[in-house]
Amino acid sequence: MRRNAGLFVAISLLSGFGSSAMSLVAGIWILDLTGSTSLAALAGLCVYAPVLAGPWLGGLLDRAPRRPLVIAVNLMLAAALLALLAVRGPGQTWLIFAVSCAYGVSYVLIDAGETALLPSALSPTELGDVNGWRSSAQEGMKLVAPLAGAGLYAWHGGHAVVVLSAAMPVLVATLYAVLRLNRTPTERRTERGGGPRTGLVVLFGQRATRLPVVLAAVSIAMSGFTTAGIYAIVVTELRLPTTFLGVLASAQGAGSILGGLIVGRLIAARGPVAVGVAGTALFAIGCLARCLPWWPATVVGAVVAGVGLPWTLVAAVTAVQTHTPSALLGRVSATANTAMFGPLVVAIPLGSAAVHLGARPPLMAATALCLTAVVVATFRRRSTPPDETPIALSPRRTAGTGPASR
């Protein structure tokens, strides 16, 4: 189990480095080729938009062997990235958009596939810890990889970044191939079936998964909703240079790394719902602190919010892994990703519009919404039936996810 845990953390490091470096460079590259900031921003939208198709894409993971599918997706992603070597001028900008869309589709499949593979590689008691370590690894790469990617782009251009980023999924595929997975073939045959609606019913049909996922969705959506407000706080209210936004990003990243390292123990001690509630409350406190007219409070608020966000996300992912039948874990995981990250598509532009009311109203609104979610979840948690126990703790399910894990 320790070997598998180390492999999953290494997978998160490598995939996080490649994706973070390429996502930044794609925008810079389009901006250099076209001179259009709006086109450059669309590259990010291409990456996030496929998450809306999560319930449909996740069904693939329940109909095909999961490990071979995840390996194949990584190798196809590497091939798609290498297609960017053909970009020579503005006429090939469409290739960058196409590869960004491919990146987005691969994210959905790989994230859901990894979530589905974890219970067949680790014991239920290890899931929270490993999910937290993976979160810390990914956040750490968000601090390092963009700088490395931008530096390499400035030194040798976009093609050098393409080669580096394409190597990452190949290495990740190799690590997936050496994982040791258990199997329960009979369960997969008896529980298979249904379409996207099945994922929705399983995910939202029980409080044990519904509450953590909703809390994560609210927190993540509000992180996008408050982006423009934070910009305005720094530039308009505090009258600081725009470079101070980098300080806040680093502070939030440091908080996320710290939060990821300790969240597993909290989940083991208190459960996913309690940790999701605490994470959402911390994010609300972070938003409130960033409303204060004092820059150290803004930095502290960024750290606190950085701790809270991974708590909500890891709590939701762990709840899905431990309360979902293994045969449905692919589509339920993908549906959960859609529920948690899909609202960003709406929240970001709404936040950009709300900032016209002032810098602080979006942050205050986010605080109020998060605290409301905390109160509702706390009330619902107290009324959770005592027989709603984790599926992964059942002896019949601890062996793994069936032939799909091969």
Checking if the pLDDT of 232 tops 90, the result is no
Q: What is the pTM of this model?
A: 0.75
Q: Which helix (H) or strand (E) holds 225?
A: helix 207-225
Would you report the helix, strand and coil content of the chain in percent, each value rounded to 5? 85, 0, 15
Alpha carbon 403 to its chain's center:
26
In degrees, rounded to 5, the angle at the alpha carbon of residue 138 between the alpha carbons of residues 137 and 143 is 95
The token duo for 120 is 């067949």
CB 29 within 8 A of CB 153: yes
Q: Of the candidates 359, 268, 345, which has an alpha carbon nearest to the alpha carbon of residue 314? A: 268
> What is the C-alpha separation between 255 and 285, in angstroms, rounded?
14
**E strands along 116-239, which residues?**
none
pLDDT of residue 323: 87
Closest to 86 (Cα-Cα) out of 28, 18, 29, 152: 29
Is 395's pLDDT higher than 70? no
Segment among 100-109, 120-129, 268-277, 305-314 with least mean pLDDT: 120-129
d(CA 110, CA 106): 6
Q: Note the pLDDT of residue 307.
A: 93
> Is the pLDDT confidence value at 78 over 70?
yes
92 membership: H or E segment, kind and range: none
Q: Could you report the per-residue pLDDT of 265-311, keeping only the tens digit for each?
A: 899 888 999 999 999 999 999 999 999 988 999 999 999 999 999 99
Q: Which helix (H) or strand (E) holds 405?
A: none
